Amino acid sequence: VSRADLALLVPELILSGMALVLLLAARRIQRTPLAMGGTVLAALGAALAAATAESGTGVGGMITVDGYSRFFLVLVAAALALAAFLSARHPEGERGLRVEYHVLFLLTATGMMLAVSSLDLLTLYLGLELMTLCSTVLVGFTVERPAANEAALKYFLIASFASALLLFGISLTYGLTGATELAAIASALKSAEGNPLPLVALGLVLAGLAFKIAAVPFHAWAPDAYQGASAPVAAFLAAGSKAAGLAALGRVCLIAFPSEAGALGRILVVLAGLSIVVGSLLALSQTDMKRLLAYSSIAHVGYALLGLAAGTPGGAAATMTYAFFYVFMTLGAFGVVIALGAQGESLDGYRGLAAQRPGLAALMLLFLLSLTGIPPTAGFAAKFVVIVSAVRADHLLLAVLAVLCSVVSAFVYLRVVVFMYMREPTAPVPARVSMTVSTALALAALVTLFGGIVPGSLVPWAVSP
Amino acid sequence: VSAYGEYIGIAVTFVLAGGIALAMVILGSTLGKKNPTAVKLAPFECGKDPLSVPMGRLAIKFYLTAILFILFDVELVFLYPWAVVYRELGLTGLVEMGVFLGVLMAGFVYAWDNGALDWK
């Protein structure tokens, strides 16, 4: 490993280094804010290092820093920092394994970053696996809650199954092309026209990655896992792991399998359409907020896939924009759930919130409007670019479907708004929101508003691989 | 056929071994005398009572010790090949191994810190 190789991995090294330091000091840190501060500091350092890193490829052609990875590295670091802020009220926060909780956050983010900057199927798999393993432990972190144990077990079993599919796809690809590097796979597949086996390999790899981003029909684990996990963990899973999965999916689709572009496009169109329809419809009947947001996240992955389904650099850029704004609005919505404590987890808890906590209700309104895709929020700008890219790729039916399901999802999100603004309060809400949760909410709200008012702000950075 | 020629011996061994084993089972069950008794029909388990709880309770600390053992085991697996090519790798190899051992030892120190070595 040369110095140039290490320079490519600085963000990952910062996060894992901080994780090691926290782990060594775990029994000596008496105060939670110290562990949280360390995590946020590492996230800021990693974001800074990623943003200023020089482009290049190294570590045997497996790791790269380019515009694409820089974008997602910063996004993952931001999600980590916000999720750490949101963990102030974590049920385990005041006793027990408070430092280990943040260590697992750091390592999950390290895995995401590794997956995002991979140019090789093996490092990609390694990164995704690190992410999945650590988040499994995080999902089951509140050991004394049976729901958390069940969620962790379900998540573990289905994630293992997905990993097996992904590995099978990778091994088939290797058998066909003799390569695991994305670019080498592409050039080897170009000469293998007419062979049906690359299609099988592609299908398996796509299925494995679709599990990671919870796209229908590989979504069944998400609602249970999110509901069983504590809210900050669910928020980090919904935001970070989807962003990392989408980044990995985008790179694999665009670099490794351009020879299968036709089939790839059709598979992604089906995944996107199903995710949008099923996610929006199933969200209608949810009364648990974490489940509702889980189904909403499934629908949003469908919208994000609209860009990738186009198969063009412009489409990938649209997906990047969508992923970016989605992370902030989802973390914001989960943030309000966390701020309300146990009461925020059920829909009934939002009755009359506007009368008791007008500020919190207004923030929730902003995030819900953004999730629906109503201007002037970032959600509208994001939805606009992906639907435009679907229209440009002649997926007219899909574009119409996306708009229709947006209307359906408006009912889902506005139902919460009706509860907040037009119902009488039933229970008193928690008196104060912790400083760090407010900070995270403010940051998420800022990005959500800014992205809506200045819609083109991300264009210079959202460059496809 | 010529490419796989050297494997023919293995295939013949498989066929012979399978054939002989199959023949013994078939011959035993067709030609042998049958005189079933209740004791003979009971599941055989080395003279033990076959109807009992399969496994007693096992203290979790054994698993912990086993995991700590694996920590050192994995370390050794990497140390041996490193020692063989130590001279060729030079200072870089030493530093890299130091980092690797440092990370592993951090895990060990964490386990120690949390009382993994207290046998009670």
The pLDDT tens digits of the residues spanning A273-321 come to 999 999 999 999 999 999 999 999 999 999 999 999 988 889 999 999 9
Mean pLDDT calculated for residue range B92-117: 89
Phi, psi of A26 (to 5 degrees): -55, -45
> Does the CB of B14 have a partner CB in chain A at under 8 Å?
no
For A17, the closest chain B residue by CA position comes to B103
Band of the pLDDT at B53, cuts 50, 70, 90? Answer: low
The reported pLDDT for the residue numbered A246 is: 95
The reported pLDDT for the residue numbered B47 is: 65
Closest-CA distance, B98 to chain A, in angstroms, reads 14
Closest-CA distance, A162 to chain B, in angstroms, reads 26
Closest-CA distance, A244 to chain B, in angstroms, reads 25
State how far the Cα of A437 lies from the Cα of A332, in Å rounded to an integer: 10
- For the segment A411-455, what is each residue's pLDDT rounded down to a tens digit? 999 999 999 999 888 777 776 788 899 999 999 999 999 999 988
- Compute how many other C-beta atoms are within 10 angstroms of the C-beta atom of residue A399: 19
The reported pLDDT for the residue numbered A426 is: 78
> Does the CB of B106 have a partner CB in chain A at under 8 Å?
yes
The reported pLDDT for the residue numbered A91 is: 53
CA atoms within 13 A on the CB side of B86: 8
Q: Judge whether A222 and A158 are in contact, CB under 8 Å.
A: no
Phi, psi of A204 (to 5 degrees): -65, -45
Q: Which of A284, A450, A312 is nearest to A381 (CA)?
A: A450
For B106, the closest chain A residue by CA position comes to A24
Judge whether residue B7 has pLDDT over 80. yes
Q: Judge whether A103 and A134 are in contact, CB under 8 Å.
A: no
Of A144-153, A283-292, A431-440, B40-49, the poorest mean pLDDT is in B40-49
Mean pLDDT calculated for residue range A93-117: 86
Which residues on neighbouring strands pair with residue A118, listed in sequence order? A63
- B106–A24 C-beta distance less than 8 A: yes
Of A232-236, B25-29, B62-66, the poorest mean pLDDT is in B62-66
Judge whether residue A388 has pLDDT over 80. yes
> Does the CB of A432 have a partner CB in chain B at under 8 Å?
no
A56-58 and A63-65 beta bridge pairing: antiparallel
The reported pLDDT for the residue numbered A135 is: 94
Band of the pLDDT at A332, cuts 50, 70, 90? Answer: very high
Mean pLDDT calculated for residue range A341-353: 87
Judge whether residue B56 has pLDDT over 50. yes
| Residue A57 buriedness (CB in 10 A; 0-12 / 13-18 / 19+) | middle
Judge whether residue B49 has pLDDT over 70. no
Mean pLDDT calculated for residue range B22-33: 91
For A21, the closest chain B residue by CA position comes to B106
Judge whether residue A331 has pLDDT over 80. yes
Q: Which of B113, B98, B100, B99 is nearest to B74 (CA)?
A: B100
> Does the CB of A97 have a partner CB in chain B at under 8 Å?
no
Q: Judge whether A356 and A264 are in contact, CB under 8 Å.
A: no
What is the pTM assigned to this prediction? 0.88
What residues of B are in contact with residue A1 (Cβ under 8 Å)?
Answer: 96
State how far the Cα of A440 lies from the Cα of A446, in Å rounded to an integer: 10
State how far the Cα of A143 lies from the Cα of B104, in Å rounded to an integer: 26
**A contact residues 7-66, partner B, Cβ 8 Å cutoff:** 20, 23-24, 26-27
Of A184-198, A327-341, B46-60, the poorest mean pLDDT is in B46-60
For A26, the closest chain B residue by CA position comes to B110
State how far the Cα of A113 lies from the Cα of A240, in Å rounded to an integer: 10
Judge whether residue A93 has pLDDT over 50. no
The reported pLDDT for the residue numbered B113 is: 87
Closest-CA distance, A17 to chain B, in angstroms, reads 9
Of A111-120, A324-333, A427-436, B99-108, the poorest mean pLDDT is in A427-436
Give the residue from B91, B95, B113 with the most A CB atoms within 10 Å of its CB, the best one to mutate: B113
Which amino acid type is present at position A248?
A
Q: Judge whether A356 and A429 are in contact, CB under 8 Å.
A: yes
Band of the pLDDT at A96, cuts 50, 70, 90? Answer: low
Which amino acid type is present at position A183?
A
Band of the pLDDT at B48, cuts 50, 70, 90? Answer: low
CA angle at residue B87 from B86 to B92, to 5 degrees?
Answer: 70
Q: Which of A1, A20, A27 sits opposite B113 (nearest CB)?
A: A27
Expressed in angstroms, the distance from the first to the final Cα of chain A is: 25
| Three-state SS sequence of A220-277 | CHHHHHHHHCCHHHHHHHHHHHHHHHHHHHHHHHHHHCHHHHHHHHHHHHHHHHHHHH
Q: What is the CA radius of gyration of chain B?
A: 28
Mean pLDDT calculated for residue range A377-388: 94
State how far the Cα of B5 lies from the Cα of A90, in Å rounded to an integer: 66
Token pair of B18 as six digits:
């399978």
Question: A134 in the Ramachandran plot: left (φ > 0), alpha (ψ -120 to 50) or beta?
Answer: alpha
The reported pLDDT for the residue numbered A144 is: 83
Band of the pLDDT at B45, cuts 50, 70, 90? Answer: low
Mean pLDDT calculated for residue range A115-123: 95
- A20–B103 C-beta distance less than 8 A: yes
Handedness of CA A346, A348, A349, A353 (dihedral sign): positive
